[in-house]
Amino acid sequence: MRKIPIQNIYYILCYAWDIGEMRDQVNVGIEQCDSIANLLVHVLLNTTERLLKRGLAQDYIMYGIEVDGIKGKINIGETLKSGRYRLGKMFCNLDEITTDICINQIIYSSLRNSLRIQNLSEQNETRLLTTLRRMPKMKSIKLTEGLFKSVRLNRNNRYYQFALNICRLLHQLLLPNGNSSDKWDFADFIEDERAMNRIFEKFLMNFYKQECRQDYPEVSHAHIRFQLTPYGMTFAKSTDEAYRLLPLMETDVTLFNPHTKKKIILDAKYYKETLVSRYGDSGKIRREHISQILSYVMNQENEDSFTQETKGILVYPTVDLELDVSYQYKNTQHIIQICTVNLNQDWQMIEKRLKEIINF
């Protein structure tokens, strides 16, 4: 989906990371961002500049030092081991407040790594050098997926979340260049269907949470059990064991209004080709997609009347094809809808379309 405007990709990422309120805080234009790599570096630079203006987070670190007399907390073990106490020397542990901490080191190292991206714009390269000079002295560290997973933010430094998300995505997409050890290539995640499907799913979830909470106060992943009763057990030793063999279904997005009793199950489907064709026939929706949304809708039924009227929607992002078709399942009140969202248009139109989908 090469035709998705850069600005829309940025907005989608903001919602996917549950920071939709920050979408208008960065000016994303073609003149600054002509590629995904330049977009992410541009956003990281803007975010880092705001952090520097606000003041980087600080924390206490402990270090050991030999001093005359006593300073801080005596390290008795080291002092006795060295024997230096006979000369009036003590090994002490001191606390020092510093900005040279993990979350700042991640940003600093990401900025340094970004300088090695192949085909980085001259403007971004210049800004990277300027911003690195503004950063206080700190250690450059090796970035790993495990390091990102280990970071725990709290309410005092939650404002770092956006910058760390950008750093993590840059880390995941940077690849060694086979022709130059000084340059790295950038893997365009737009071309990765699996990665984009995860992002699109999170985008839908958080968009409806933030923008449609009045119509649907409850937006979540819902767990659904298959409505199957053990029968004629041969291999299972008990009914409980037979039930445990059944997998648990989890929806991409479930919207529910406890007042109006309206319930919708959304299934996000990001594919380069929305329809599939075989033997020259006209394009069709994938069979497994229909089966999946039907399974969600039918197995969520219970004694509550609204579960008998649940709507299932397959949502496909596109840049050209327009689809909006609904079907009724047998003689039930269940409606299965198949629709597209054109991402190659103004964001206001995308918002309008997303809200149209869930209004029935």
CA distances to 79, 91, 102, 128, 349 from 68, in Å: 12, 9, 31, 43, 70
Angle at 48 between CA 185 and CA 11, to 5 degrees: 70
Query: What pLDDT, on a 0 to 100 scale, did the predictor assign at position 32?
Result: 58
Query: How much of the chain is in helix, strand and coil states, percent to nearest 5?
Result: 40, 20, 35
Looking at every residue in the chain, the average pLDDT score rounds to 86
CB neighbour class for 223 (10 Å; exposed up to 12, middle 13-18, buried from 19): exposed
- Whether 313 and 265 have beta carbons less than 8 Å apart is answered as yes
Q: What is the pLDDT of residue 84?
A: 60
Q: Is-contact 266 203, C-beta < 8 A?
A: no
Max mean pLDDT range (74-83, 174-183, 280-289): 280-289
Listed residue (164, 52, 148) closest to 107, CA to CA:
164
| pLDDT tens column, 67-92 | 666 665 666 666 667 666 555 676 77
Cα 162–chain centre separation: 10
Phi, psi of 268 (to 5 degrees): -85, 130
What's the pLDDT at 105? 95
**pLDDT for residue 185 is more than 90:** no
Of 60-69, 184-193, 207-216, 298-307, least confident by mean pLDDT is 60-69
338's tokens? 């198949």
pLDDT attached to residue 347 = 92
CA 293/CA 213 separation, integer angstroms: 23
DSSP assignment, residue 139? Answer: -
The rounded percent of the chain whose pLDDT value lies above 70 is: 83
- Asked if residues 105 and 138 have their Cβ atoms less than 8 Å apart, the reply is yes
The three-class DSSP label of residue 286 is coil
Q: Which of 265, 290, 263, 282 is nearest to 321 (CA)?
A: 282
Closest listed residue to residue 185, CA positions, set 42, 36, 48: 36
Rounded Cα distance between 12 and 9, Å, is 5
pLDDT digit string, tens, across residues 98-117 = 898 999 999 999 999 999 98
**What average pLDDT does this structure show over 120-129?**
92
Burial class (CB in 10 A: 0-12, 13-18, 19+), 56: buried
Residue 299 predicted with pLDDT over 90: yes
- Whether the predicted pLDDT of 151 surpasses 80: yes
For residue 290, the model assigns a pLDDT of 95
Q: Please give the pLDDT value at position 72.
A: 56
Encode burial over 199-217: b for 16+ CB neighbours within 10 A, e otherwise: bbbbbbbbbbbeebeeebe
Q: 344 or 180, which is more confident? A: 344
SS3 at position 174: strand
Structural tokens at position 334: 């269940």
**In terms of pTM, does the model score above 0.75?**
yes
β-bridge partners, 27: none
Beta strands at 253-257 and 218-220: parallel, antiparallel or unpaired: antiparallel
What's the confidence (pLDDT) of residue 309?
92
Residues of the chain above pLDDT 90, percent? 51
Query: How open is the CA angle 350-352-357, to the nearest 5 degrees?
Result: 95
Q: Using CB atoms within 10 A of its CB, is residue 335 exposed (0-12), middle (13-18) or buried (19+)?
A: middle
- Alpha carbons within 13 angstroms on the beta-carbon side of residue 288 total 2
* pLDDT for position 212: 93
